[in-house]
Structure 1
Amino acid sequence: MLRSVTSRSFSNVLTLTRRCGTGNSTGTRPHLITTPIFYVNAAPHIGHVYSALQADVQHRYSALCGERSRFSTGTDEHGMKVQQAAFSLGLDPKEFCSSVSLKYQTMFNALDISYTDFVRTTESRHIEAVNRFWMILEERGYIYKGTYEGWYCTSDEAFLSEGQTAERCNSEGKKIRVSLESGHQVHWVSEENYMFRLSSLRPDLLQWLQTDPIHPSVFHRVVSHWLEEELPDLSVSRQRSCLTWGIPVPSDSSHVIYVWLDALVNYLTAAGYPDPNLAPWGPATHLLGKDILRFHAIYWPAFLIAAGLPPPQKLLVHSHWTCGGTKMSKSLKNVVDPAECIRRYTKDGLRYFLLRHGAAERDCDFTHNTVCTLLNSELADALGGLLNRCTASNINPMQHFPHYHHESVPTTTHDQLHSLLKNLQKLPAEVDHWIRKFQVNKALESIDANIRRSNSFFQSQAPWKLQKGVEKEACWKDSVLYLTLESLRLYATLLLPAVPELATVALDRLGVPPNKRTLKGNSFFAATRGESCSFQGQIFGPDRGLLFPRLERSKKNTVRI
């Protein structure tokens, strides 16, 4: 018998989320931040890296603010595509999965992705979680045996309604039916499967959607449009005669569990499910690409609500990367290789470009010249140049933070200084706003705009021209250096989530101690407010050369495999 999820019981489920807290206080469970688990039918590409980087920024930023979070990623290792890929290489599926999963771990480690858990769907802990989750859905009456007739896309491992498909001509001019969302070919399937009562959960999904969980808003509108129509029940198993590489249905070994139900439960695996001591699981933020929005915004919250668990707190959705304006494809030989990009641009160079140039709400283009132009302008020239100038021995022979002198400010500079400080003092709040709104590119844009203001201020005051023998000019020179160095300390601190190694090099150069590399309880520009400032007189760390080397532009416009 179906145990219905009424509006009242759904409200209770949402209450569980609120009780878990946001991860900001010591007494609550850490906030869980996740990427999708990545399908192991191929090596990692730039889109996988982008998802991981966005989640990494959210996780690192939480730590920077003194908040508690965990960060889970992993690999999705079951399903028809994996079975076919392993067979084509003459490999055992588990052996094939292990080799590709290792590539993801190696790539993420190379990019300083600070995950705290890596879930593989072939792990025993995950299989235990999936089995338990299936049995709860079954016990609560949400799974029944029925006949599925409809379209199935092997490439997407997705069951599709008639309205989600259309006829198209392939490269040979032959008419085929394809998925409207992915463009991949679909095939008609008719088989006895286990079904999930998705149709009964539409009211609950609409209520969850009212909590504004999906960002940016353009994707929230997409899901609202999907939910305007009735939802058919979902097939959640495949017959073992069709697919052997999967987790068997606990009560019927002739069926394997649908790969997406299996995969989505990884988020529960990362939370410690089914350990009763860890229930209810804490609030979750899922990072994902727009191509898997339906699975995360329809199926996943429905599965959770049906099991009596809180739905996701946030879905942060991003668009895709193109190359030269064209969708990346192996056949077109325009797939961007992250490993080659790391060699060419450094890991922080690649991190910065993807986070700064990418925008969640629209597809973004990757070209070599765009990368070089942006990194040279913002990291090498604006940020690196400013650091080099104000730590140069001819301008700052003591190699320290000079004292700030209120009385030394020239009358003609009051307005310019006031404008500079006003922008700098509101910068942390701006960055916080954009990162929490899942617009890291705009956070980095705000930082870059202020770096340029600091450069303009430094250039206009020309401290190298101020005379040592004239007391007021010498004091103003010290003040200009203090302001510029303190602004660099702020910029480097705010950049830690995006470019951790480069920001650490800058903070090391400035001699900033580890306990001051935080936003929690950290004060900036204290001396300008007449407060005591521990950084006045602070000695710099060792000079490690250029913060970021300039890159050479190339006639080749793309980085290809």
Structure 2
Amino acid sequence: MKPHYMITTPIYYVNGAPHVGHAYTSIAADVMARFKRLDGYDVFFLTGTDEHGQKVEQAAQNQGQTPQKFVDMVSAQFKNMADRLEITYDDFIRTTEDRHKKSCQALWKKIADAGYIYLGAYEGWYSLRDECYYGEDELETTPDGRKIAPTGAEVKWLKEPSYFFKLSAWQDKLLEFYEQNPQFVGPESRRNELLSFIKSGLRDLSISRTSFKWGIPVPGDDDHVMYVWFDALTNYISALGYPDVEQSDLWRFWPADLHLVGKEIARFHALYWPAFLMAAGLDVTKRIYSHGWWTVEGEKMSKSVGNVIEPLKLVEEFGLDPVRFFLLREVPFGGDGDYSRQSLINRMNNELANDLGNLAQRTLTQVTRNCDGKVPEIGKRNADDEALLSKAVLLPILLREQIDRQALHEALETIWKIIRASNAYIDHQAPWTLKKTDPERMVVVLRVLVDVIRIVATCLQPFMPGAMDKLLTQLGVLETERQFADLENVIPSGRDLPKPAGIFPRFVEAE
């Protein structure tokens, strides 16, 4: 039986159109889901949209639409983005679906029955933009005397009846959980921030609102709708069939192996969500990893500045695989990144066209010319051949560990070390010269290169699926031979190869 692996993106908030930050999270999650499938796992990959809350209600009103019509339109844009980026999700959940409402109400009842929800009145600071409550000690004061959230968002003083979740009752249990599960939150810097937040003292959390209606009604009290984060976080179990877990074949994927989130929502996932799950007697997710934000040419992305990067426009201009590659290669995953057009073009031309594209083209052209267009014989290898091959063979093992700690940039660098070593090897061995001086040796060198490029292309499939499909086909690797386990079997010598064609053309700016 295959091992299970469940990975999720956050469900994206539909008060605006998708931007490069959403694409970044989805692509990263997709790389990990694809990697696990290649590594023999039974994967469940969940994404979707978060469609309730006051912000959505206001955005719909501003466009003169009903909230449902508005969320239908924006959710379709997010689904289209996922499909165009070739995100291999298994389910796309929407929080306006009946299955999700049923799940939220069941979770609420379960927690209420356990004694962790009570009715009171909320009075305090609330940020509509962040959909988050803030304590006085977390706020900053602007030069003109206004109070703002640590994110820079405006806050307002709210007073309304509210149901509360006894978050304070979970302070010690959360600290103990963090202690026993050091890998629960990554990167380390985010874990330390959250730990100090818990240690500073947790207040009970307001989890319902009465000042608007666009939300899931609280069971037994229709005057209240659920706080948008209680609703949103529950999506991870609604998609698996909660509360009907006995009847659901998908419940075997719980607890999720990884929730991938942006750093601004780490607190909701790493404090509120585990506390809700513990209160309901459910297992807690194994790991939450939060990545950074993207700026554009050093500036924060904003509609008013007009520098919001639309992922689908990038793909139209540069191609899907180069964009996927660039986003995960450019910055350490977990830190902040800066998008610059020139950096993207440099990566395409230097690493994709020169390093990898050129290596494949030179090798396969030599094979076509000098080996009758067939996979070369293995022959007698020397120390140089074994040195390169032994490094390449280790790739899947090294990548496995890096993917499990979400070090996607490190994984790409590990692969690129082999690509650079292969380029040095072909230059040094010079098969084009060996053709005249030692044709037997030439065949061995070309076979070593074919085997190494096959390993590289197999390992790069999660990052650049389309380009690697073409490259593996040119190397004579059948579609049934592309899992990591298949690397243990050599490609038979003498197999016919198609005519080689460039995979990564150089990008030249239009005059």
Structure 2 unaligned blocks of 5 or more: none
Q: Do 1:369 and 1:553's aligned partners in 2 also have CA atoms closer than 8 Å?
A: no
Are 1:149 and 2:123 an aligned pair? yes
Q: Distance in 2 between matches of 1:397 and 1:347?
A: 33
Equivalent residues in 2 for 1:223-234, closer than 5 Å: 223-234=194-205
Q: Distance in 2 between matches of 1:486 and 1:65?
A: 19
- Identity of counterpart residues, as a percentage? 38
Task: Tell me by how many angstroms 1:405 deviates.
Answer: 1.8
Task: Tell me by how many angstroms 1:344 deviates.
Answer: 1.2
Q: Distance in 2 between matches of 1:273 and 1:398?
A: 59
Q: Do 1:508 and 1:542's aligned partners in 2 also have CA atoms closer than 8 Å?
A: no
Residue range with higher mean Cα deviation, 385-394 or 44-53 = 385-394
Equivalent residues in 2 for 1:55-74, closer than 5 Å: 55-74=29-48
Aligned-partner SS, 2:201? coil
Q: Distance in 2 between matches of 1:280 and 1:517?
A: 27
Task: Tell me by how many angstroms 1:419 deviates.
Answer: 3.3
Q: Do 1:401 and 1:482's aligned partners in 2 also have CA atoms closer than 8 Å?
A: yes
Q: Distance in 2 between matches of 1:209 and 1:262?
A: 24
Are 1:463 and 2:463 an aligned pair? no
From 392, 399, 405, give the equivalent of 1:437: 405
Q: Do 1:319 and 1:359's aligned partners in 2 also have CA atoms closer than 8 Å?
A: no
Query: CA 1:478 to 1:98, structure 2 compared with 1: closer, same or farther past 3 Å?
Result: same
Residue range with higher mean Cα deviation, 478-487 or 201-210 = 201-210
Are 1:508 and 2:473 an aligned pair? yes
From 357, 366, 385, give the equivalent of 2:339: 366
Task: Tell me by how many angstroms 1:422 deviates.
Answer: 3.3
Aligned-partner SS, 2:435? coil
Aligned to 1:14: none
Q: Distance in 1 between matches of 2:455 and 2:253?
A: 35
Output one character per residue of 1:291-343: Cα deviation in whole Å (capped at 9) or x when no partner: 00110010011100000001110101101111111111111111111111001
Are 1:425 and 2:393 an aligned pair? yes
Q: Distance in 2 between matches of 1:31 and 1:461?
A: 43
Aligned-partner SS, 2:432? helix
Letter in 2 for 1:552: V
Aligned to 2:222: 253
Structure 1 unaligned blocks of 5 or more: 1-24, 525-532, 556-561
Are 1:538 and 2:495 an aligned pair? yes
Q: Distance in 1 between matches of 2:442 and 2:280?
A: 66
Residue range with higher mean Cα deviation, 206-215 or 488-497 = 206-215
Aligned to 2:457: 492
Q: Do 2:6 and 2:44's aligned partners in 1 also have CA atoms closer than 8 Å?
A: yes
Aligned-partner SS, 1:308? coil
Task: Tell me by how many angstroms 1:436 deviates.
Answer: 1.1
Letter in 2 for 1:234: L
Q: Distance in 2 between matches of 1:43 and 1:397?
A: 53
Task: Tell me by how many angstroms 1:404 deviates.
Answer: 2.0
Q: Do 2:373 and 2:499's aligned partners in 1 also have CA atoms closer than 8 Å?
A: no
From 231, 234, 245, give the equivalent of 1:276: 245
Task: Tell me by how many angstroms 1:281 deviates.
Answer: 5.5
Aligned to 1:11: none
Q: Do 1:219 and 1:317's aligned partners in 2 also have CA atoms closer than 8 Å?
A: yes
Task: Tell me by how many angstroms 1:379 deviates.
Answer: 1.1
From 503, 508, 511, give the equivalent of 1:547: 503
Q: Do 1:214 and 1:316's aligned partners in 2 also have CA atoms closer than 8 Å?
A: yes
After superposition, the CA RMSD in angstroms is 1.6
From 304, 307, 313, give the equivalent of 1:340: 313
Aligned-partner SS, 1:192? strand
Q: Do 2:375 and 2:476's aligned partners in 1 also have CA atoms closer than 8 Å?
A: no
Equivalent residues in 2 for 1:203-214, closer than 5 Å: 203-210=172-179, 211-212=181-182, 213-214=184-185
Query: CA 1:109 to 1:329, structure 2 compared with 1: closer, same or farther past 3 Å?
Result: same
Aligned to 1:518: 483
From 344, 360, 370, give the equivalent of 1:387: 360
Aligned-partner SS, 1:522? helix
Aligned-partner SS, 2:290? strand
Are 1:295 and 2:253 an aligned pair? no
From 363, 368, 373, give the equivalent of 1:399: 373
Task: Tell me by how many angstroms 1:418 deviates.
Answer: 4.2
From 57, 72, 83, give the equivalent of 2:57: 83
Task: Tell me by how many angstroms 1:138 deviates.
Answer: 0.9
Q: Distance in 1 between matches of 2:89 and 2:506?
A: 30
Aligned residues: 504
Q: Do 1:369 and 1:554's aligned partners in 2 also have CA atoms closer than 8 Å?
A: no
Task: Tell me by how many angstroms 1:204 deviates.
Answer: 1.4
Aligned to 1:179: 149
Task: Tell me by how many angstroms 1:359 deviates.
Answer: 2.0
Aligned to 1:94: 68
Output one character per residue of 1:489-528: Cα deviation in whole Å (capped at 9) or x when no partner: 001100111111111110111120122101125316xxxx
Q: Do 2:292 and 2:334's aligned partners in 1 also have CA atoms closer than 8 Å?
A: yes
Aligned to 1:265: 234
Q: Distance in 1 between matches of 2:455 and 2:252?
A: 38
Normalised by the size of structure 1, how large is the TM-score? 0.87
Residue range with higher mean Cα deviation, 249-258 or 358-367 = 358-367
Q: Distance in 2 between matches of 1:434 and 1:236?
A: 37
Aligned-partner SS, 1:402? coil
Task: Tell me by how many angstroms 1:395 deviates.
Answer: 4.0
Task: Tell me by how many angstroms 1:380 deviates.
Answer: 1.1
Aligned to 1:41: 15
Q: Distance in 2 between matches of 1:541 and 1:79?
A: 55
Task: Tell me by how many angstroms 1:288 deviates.
Answer: 0.2
Q: Distance in 2 between matches of 1:521 and 1:403?
A: 19
Are 1:236 and 2:197 an aligned pair? no
Letter in 1 for 2:498: G
Query: CA 1:453 to 1:280, structure 2 compared with 1: closer, same or farther past 3 Å?
Result: closer
Q: Distance in 2 between matches of 1:396 and 1:506?
A: 19
Q: Do 1:45 and 1:338's aligned partners in 2 also have CA atoms closer than 8 Å?
A: yes
Q: Distance in 1 between matches of 2:228 and 2:510?
A: 43
Letter in 2 for 1:183: G
Q: Distance in 2 between matches of 1:224 and 1:36?
A: 22
Q: Distance in 1 between matches of 2:245 and 2:95?
A: 21
Letter in 1 for 2:186: H
Q: Distance in 2 between matches of 1:376 and 1:515?
A: 31
Query: CA 1:541 to 1:160, structure 2 compared with 1: closer, same or farther past 3 Å?
Result: same
Are 1:222 and 2:193 an aligned pair? yes
Q: Distance in 2 between matches of 1:388 and 1:464?
A: 13
Aligned-partner SS, 2:142? strand
Q: Distance in 2 between matches of 1:343 and 1:320?
A: 23
Q: Distance in 2 between matches of 1:542 and 1:308?
A: 59
Normalised by the size of structure 2, how large is the TM-score? 0.95
Are 1:105 and 2:79 an aligned pair? yes
Query: CA 1:283 to 1:224, structure 2 compared with 1: closer, same or farther past 3 Å?
Result: same
Aligned-partner SS, 2:285? coil
Letter in 1 for 2:465: P
Aligned to 1:193: 162
Letter in 2 for 1:538: R
Q: Distance in 2 between matches of 1:222 and 1:522?
A: 42
Q: Do 2:455 and 2:487's aligned partners in 1 also have CA atoms closer than 8 Å?
A: no
Query: CA 1:321 to 1:43, structure 2 compared with 1: closer, same or farther past 3 Å?
Result: same
